[in-house]
């Protein structure tokens, strides 16, 4: 199995998980540093939980991701989604039947700074994220044979929820642990 990683160092733990589970994409937990925020981002572990979180936001921390080469060659990053091409790729991979996992260990130390895309291009990123959410919800509603007229209401809820929680669900995972 050939894999590529967007990280500078390939994680043998992620490679083990990819081989063990047969997943196409593998992320991990991440520890933040560089600001007063030194939380651990505990992304959901299973494919099902990851796809549930995708309703709200990107369920993988992009710099911590390793994925199969053939999948990346097939799906490619789409420059039309420049400020959130990772979320777009995860959503398209889901529609293609790709499996995702997160190793429940901290495998990346992630430095935060003011020039990050999530800060510098926040407005554009939020607009694109909402479009990806809509596309994903249309896919989920089709799978569940639900009336698509409700998608607008669900989008209002997810947007309000995300804004109200100041993106904590999406930026910091479902569970957080403070540094001791």
The pLDDT value given to residue 179: 39
Buried b (16+ CB within 10 A) or exposed e, 33-42: eeeeeebbbb
Q: Tell me the pLDDT tens digit for each residue of 17-46.
A: 999 999 999 999 999 988 878 899 999 999
> Of residues 92 and 126, which shows the higher confidence score?
92
Contacts (Cβ under 8 Å, ≥6 apart) of 11? 5, 28, 66, 103, 107
The pLDDT value given to residue 2: 53
Number of neighbours of residue 168 by Cβ within 10 angstroms: 13
Q: Tell me the pLDDT tens digit for each residue of 49-71.
A: 999 999 988 899 999 999 999 99
For residue 9, what is the DSSP state? Answer: S
The pLDDT value given to residue 112: 83
Strands 40-42 and 3-5: unpaired
The pLDDT value given to residue 66: 93
CA distance 151 to 142: 11
Whether this prediction's pTM lies above 0.75 is answered by yes
Most confident of 8-12, 78-82, 114-118, 122-126: 78-82
At residue 138 the predicted structure's pLDDT band, cuts being 50, 70 and 90, is very high
- Do 42 and 30 contact (CB within 8 A), yes or no? no
At residue 98 the predicted structure's pLDDT band, cuts being 50, 70 and 90, is very high
- Do 169 and 161 contact (CB within 8 A), yes or no? yes
The pLDDT value given to residue 175: 41
């Amino acid at each position: 199995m050939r894999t590529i990683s967007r990280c500078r160092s390939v994680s043998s733990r992620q490679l083990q998980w990819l081989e063990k589970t047969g997943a196409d994409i593998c992320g991990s937990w991440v520890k933040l540093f560089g600001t007063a925020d030194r939380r651990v981002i505990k992304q959901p572990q299973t494919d099902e939980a990851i796809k549930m979180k995708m309703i709200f936001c990107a369920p993988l921390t992009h710099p911590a991701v390793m994925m199969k080469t053939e999948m990346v060659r097939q799906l490619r990053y789409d420059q039309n989604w420049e400020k959130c091409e990772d979320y777009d790729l995860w959503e398209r991979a889901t529609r293609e039947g790709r499996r995702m996992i997160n190793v429940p260990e901290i495998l990346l130390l992630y430095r935060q700074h003011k020039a990050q895309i999530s800060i510098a291009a926040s407005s554009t990123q939020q607009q694109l994220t909402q479009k990806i959410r809509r596309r994903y919800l249309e896919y989920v509603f089709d799978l569940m044979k639900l009336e698509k007229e409700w998608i607008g209401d669900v989008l209002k809820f997810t947007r309000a929820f995300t804004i109200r929680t100041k993106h904590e669900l999406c930026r910091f995972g479902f569970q957080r642990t403070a540094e001791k």
